[in-house]
A and B are shown apart, each in its own frame.
Chain A
């Protein structure tokens, strides 16, 4: 039998060895992991304008994603009154890096409305501007979020992509997993003929108003309602920005 002192020394050495290995590996891979996380986000943003790209986003290499983003996308940050937000303000809000892409929508949602800031990704589609907006809401279990690309008439949706934290696989998770769901948003309109904002609703049991409604996912009512709510409220918060851009 080993005595207590031996046990202590053995445990100590083991702990130090494993902590050293892990910290070396962690700090060695940190930059790469951070870059990978950014590319993952950028892929999601670009997949909302997938139809306008030369190559399918899911088939692009990491470098291609970064290239498209650097060459064709301009980032802006705006507040709910539609004013541009400077880098210094983003830094002051606690986002390291200070770029609009560093803004954490989950944190912004918890702030009072007049203090929120939102990123806008202006995508250059061969000279024509497409505005990609970030929205966030609640699904059945947890948060859901998405990127919606709007034409420069600030009415027609070019495409959308969604993601979620913990929706049920096969039901709510279809908003992300089933490309047919986000494809339904293409060509939908935010404003009706009278110019009133109504956004796009996800409805059960048949679409009655085709420019503003899409079919719900069967078996995922709460997630579908969450998407409707997010599409309405999330895009509405960009309305002031739309009006400023329209002049």
Chain B
């Protein structure tokens, strides 16, 4: 218990949402992005990104799990026995993930079906564990919570970018399966079905129709990994300090 008293003795006077807190939120979006820089949490990132809608749900789920597991671990950090630290963290994460799964199953069954095992895999998503170890075990609850939100969004952002590219070029739609489903480009006998109807004989659609076909490579899971590779390439060309020297 000695550690706890020492830490509490140093009462830091900090604003509720100051510069440091803002940095916690924005850093993971660029300089310290979980996917492209920290290389964490790629597993579940790839398999769900063929459509935008499930990716958004996944991004929200991961953000909530990282934020709340960070919060709870940080609250318990002085009480967690060192020997079973990892198990305790895993139990907290697994509980939160089960909560997310049960809620999804009851309120959005179709998405639950689509995400299937990948909801469970949030448990072993390295971002969650990584943030607990690197941040929550050493920081106060509120800041850990913000760090979780920031990392969740940094992760979700990449997920959604990949999904937009894959769905748009692979299927010609966006947000398919959601109430906001949009058909962007594709052939149809009904003129109004697609924004750019490649089956029409006039306008932009006619021009597209002469050469455009949906790219089936984008639907394969390998596409997501190419896209991440290219995102990393672009990210590091812009942000030179991230270049791998080894």
Contacts and interface: CB of A to CB of B under 8 A. Distances in A.
B219 A170 contact: yes
Given A36-B106, A219-B216, A170 B88 contact: no
Contacts of A18: 91-92, 94-95
B226 interface: no
A69 B91 CA distance: 42
A11 interface: yes
A244 interface: no
Interface in B78-100: 79-84, 87-88, 91-92, 94-95, 98-99
Nearest to B221: A169
Contacts, number: 69
Nearest to A59: B179
Interface stretch (A22-30, A99-107, A115-123): A22-30
Given A33-B105, A219-B216, A2 B95 contact: no
Contact of A29 (B88, B103, B110): B103
Given A11-B88, A21-B99, A169-B220, A32 B83 contact: no
B76 to A, nearest CB: 8
A7 interface: yes
A170 B105 contact: no
Interface residues of A, number: 26
Contacts of B88: 10-11, 14
Nearest to A11: B84
Interface string A17-54: 01001100110010011001101100000000000000
A15 interface: yes
Contacts of A40: 109-110, 113
A25 B91 contact: no
Interface size on B, as a range, is: 20 to 34
A32 B81 CA distance: 39
B105 A29 contact: yes
A169 B109 contact: no
A1 B82 CA distance: 8
Interface in B211-241: 216, 218-221
Interface in B52-81: 79-81
A32 B106 contact: yes
A143 to B, nearest CB: 14
B170 interface: yes
Contacts of A39: 109
Nearest to B188: A180
Contacts of B219: 169-171
Interface string B98-122: 1100110111011001000000000
B99 A15 contact: no
Contacts of A7: 81, 83-84
Interface string B146-169: 000000000000000000000000
B50 interface: yes
B27 to A, nearest CB: 31
Nearest to A168: B220
Contact of B81 (A6, A22, A25): A6
B86 to A, nearest CB: 12
A17 B1 CA distance: 23
A40 B108 CA distance: 10
B216 A26 contact: no
A15 B102 contact: no
Closest A-B pairs by Cβ, 9 of them: A170-B219, A36-B109, A29-B106, A18-B95, A7-B81, A32-B106, A2-B81, A33-B106, A33-B105
Given A29-B103, A170-B219, 12 more contacts: A6-B81, A11-B81, A14-B88, A14-B92, A15-B91, A18-B91, A18-B94, A21-B95, A21-B99, A37-B109, A40-B110, A170-B220
12 contacts: A1-B82, A10-B80, A10-B84, A22-B102, A26-B102, A32-B107, A33-B102, A33-B109, A37-B109, A40-B113, A170-B220, A171-B220
